[in-house]
């Protein structure tokens, strides 16, 4: 038999249970507007994509320009093969235009020995190449240019162009 105290406890427990409401699951989070963390992630991703795209585009432009200059160099040697003085003058102009397009130090004012020294800086050139470089640097100021090895000049010009580090921009 149940004691009166246990009946009271049961009744109070039943009354407490009656007061409880059914359990409802939480509402699902709305997908819009996103939380601030998602906004931050989108902004950071957009900035990184823009920066990377900009870097890749500039690298592609530099590559394309250097490829164009190499093609101009090859075409110059084919076109001016029988005209040694004109070849040297146009090669000087091509190098100076190339350097001017890269920004940095201006070399337009360099002539003669100073220009030859600039062309040799940072390159290990043989004695024959040094003679060709000096001929190249002084050719536009001479009526008659000394004989020089065109193949050696072409090989050196390709090497010089390849050795020039393109400025980042």
Structural domain boundaries in the chain: 66-163
Under DSSP, the state recorded for 32 is S
pLDDT of residue 45: 98
pLDDT of residue 5: 65
What predicted TM-score, i.e. pTM, was given to this entire model?
Answer: 0.64
CA atoms within 13 A on the CB side of 68: 9
pLDDT of residue 115: 86
Gyration radius from the chain CA atoms: 39
Give helix 112-120 / helix 127-138 axis angle, nearest 10°. 140
Task: Assign 22 to helix, strand or coil.
Answer: coil
Task: Assign 161 to helix, strand or coil.
Answer: helix
pLDDT of residue 165: 66
pLDDT averaged per 10 residues in sequence order, the chain, 169 residues: 66 78 81 90 98 95 88 90 85 88 78 87 82 86 83 90 65
116: CB partners within 8 A, 6+ apart: 133, 134, 136, 137, 138
């Amino acid at each position: 038999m149940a004691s009166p105290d246990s009946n009271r406890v049961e009744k109070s427990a039943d009354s407490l249970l009656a007061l409880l409401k059914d359990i409802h699951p939480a509402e699902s989070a709305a997908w819009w507007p996103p939380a601030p963390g998602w906004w931050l992630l989108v902004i950071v991703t957009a900035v990184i994509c823009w920066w990377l795209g900009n870097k890749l585009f500039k690298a592609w432009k530099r590559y394309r320009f250097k490829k164009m200059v190499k093609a101009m160099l090859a075409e110059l040697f084919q076109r001016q093969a029988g005209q040694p003085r004109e070849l040297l003058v146009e090669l000087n102009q091509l190098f100076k235009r190339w350097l001017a397009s890269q920004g940095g130090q201006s070399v337009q004012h360099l002539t003669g020995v100073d220009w030859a020294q600039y062309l040799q800086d940072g390159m290990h050139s043989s004695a024959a190449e040094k003679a060709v470089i000096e001929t190249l640097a002084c050719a536009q100021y001479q009526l008659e240019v000394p004989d020089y090895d065109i193949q050696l000049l072409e090989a050196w010009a390709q090497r010089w162009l390849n050795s020039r580090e393109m400025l980042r921009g």
